[in-house]
A and B are shown apart, each in its own frame.
Chain A
Amino acid sequence: MTDAYIVGVDMIKFGRFPEKTVPQIGAQAALMALDDCGLSIQHMQALYCGNLGQASGMVGQRLLQEIGQTGMPVVNVANACATGATAFREAWASVKAGLYDVVLAVGVEQMGKGLLGGGGAKTGIPKEGLIGSGTMPAVFAEAGMEHARHYGTTFEQFAKVSVKNHHHSTLNPKAMYQIETPLDEVMNAEMISYPNTKLMCSVNVDGSAAAVICSEKKARELGLMDRAIKVRASVLASDPWQERDLVMPDVNSCTQKAAKEAYEMAGLGPEDIDLIELHDCFATAEILHYGNLGICKQEDAGRMIDEGEVALGGRIPVNVSGGLLSKGHPLGATGIANIYEVSTHLRNEAGSRQVEGAKIGLTHVIGLGSACAIHVLERAS
């Protein structure tokens, strides 16, 4: 099988664009990714388009109506917050399989503001606040408190994740916010669902990100290897059976499974990874994944944040983009935006937030329900 490379990748600055349509927002990133490698829509042999909010709305085809209807096959993908990464992975798989030489993957979302999850009942009575909470801040708070019960992780340690990621975002011009948030400000912000305060919840934003994926042969033909990023591993997992699945969505076992398979596929281990973009949809979520991804023992996750090992300049920087907490979390775009961030570091083009000497990076997203997608990326030259 051929190796597959990212030759073009980009994202728009995340924000709120109520005046635009979903395909228009997606088209922006698609054109930027094409420009990044100097190819045109006519070069693309297929489009894999990730979007959640209009999953039945043929977003990919409508996107091509904005930028070029060549008649290429279009696959529209929805997989909760793993939507973008899943679209990327389908694109990667088509190249790996030899079906196409060069394809486009796009992730796009238009969100609006507000609380996600725990929607109203269609029959009977509303269950929210009666049978516990189905809101996302509460669900991820419960997952964080599970970590607290096993390993003694504290409210302050969870809050430090937000301090770190908000700090990182001050160095990222494409982040929704670039605002420092000291620890006392994070801890004293409005409590949404203990232990997640408002500053410990990701930002609902509109956004898009896109990547052009190419076979090795085609990338060499086109002279695009200089800035190419090799996809060393692409893994998707669903949540294997766990005893509390029906009442407590499991983001841990699918991450552990995907990480193990990704390291095997890439032929390396967590000690070889130079930076990570992981799914910090809530501050409580980030800490779970240090252990799940194997960069420390589960019981050492709190220490990792206390000692700055996961901050820019630390042993293994996590979410130097600002993460979902500050860069923003447009559900369908997030997976490819993470791939853009890691690729940018591997190309040594990340400016003031550059992880020095980064050669190998890992991206991770979770779609609650659950889906976990992990990619291991390496600079090609």
Chain B
Amino acid sequence: MSNQPLPAVPYLKIPEGAEPYLEGQKCGQCGSTFLGERSVCSKCGARDQMSPVTLPNSGKLYSYSIVYRSFPGIEVPYISAIVDLDDGTAIKGNLINVEADPEHIEFDMPVDVVYADALGRKDADGNSYLSFFFQPKA
């Protein structure tokens, strides 16, 4: 079992002695950014032009749903959100610290990316995980 939390998703990086961050891959030919590892650009088809980039910790809410029915053991309701980060990369996650009510959720509301424990979820070996969330910009 690891003493340090593990990343909940592969594109969340936890460097030793520094703040966690989200990592994308940017195509050197067409400039598109992607979440996660890849070697070929799915927009322009360029090969071996990908280089890692640190994604910004702020963006705007693009779309969402408020989820009331999920699988057994998943706490509801929660807001499933699509966010456009400031560099244009689209990312999905939970929107927190806002009431789960459409009256309180506005398209294009500015959000920050924050990092926290993965809702207490542990894997079969008892490891803890670090995840990311969106919350309204302070």
Contact = CB atoms under 8 A, between A and B. Distances in A.
B118 interface: yes
Contacts of A190: 68-69
B9 A142 contact: no
B119 A130 contact: yes
Contacts of B8: 124-125, 127, 130-131
Contacts, number: 130
A129 B65 contact: no
Contact of A248 (B78, B82, B123): B82
B40 interface: no
Nearest to A133: B80
B121 to A, nearest CB: 4
A149 B121 contact: no
Give the secondary structure class of A's interface.
loop
A141 B70 CA distance: 14
A38 B38 CA distance: 54
A352 interface: no
B69 A137 contact: yes
Interface residues of A, number: 40
Of A118, A132, A243, A247, chain B has the most CB atoms within 10 Å of the CB of: A132
Given A124-B8, A129-B74, A248 B68 contact: no
A130 B71 contact: no
Interface in A192-241: 192-196, 241
Interface string A87-129: 0000000000000000000000000000100101001111111
Nearest to B90: A244
Contacts of B123: 123-125
B132 to A, nearest CB: 8
B36 A142 contact: no
Given A149-B63, A193-B80, A248-B92, 8 more contacts: A125-B8, A132-B80, A133-B80, A135-B71, A241-B42, A244-B62, A244-B82, A248-B82
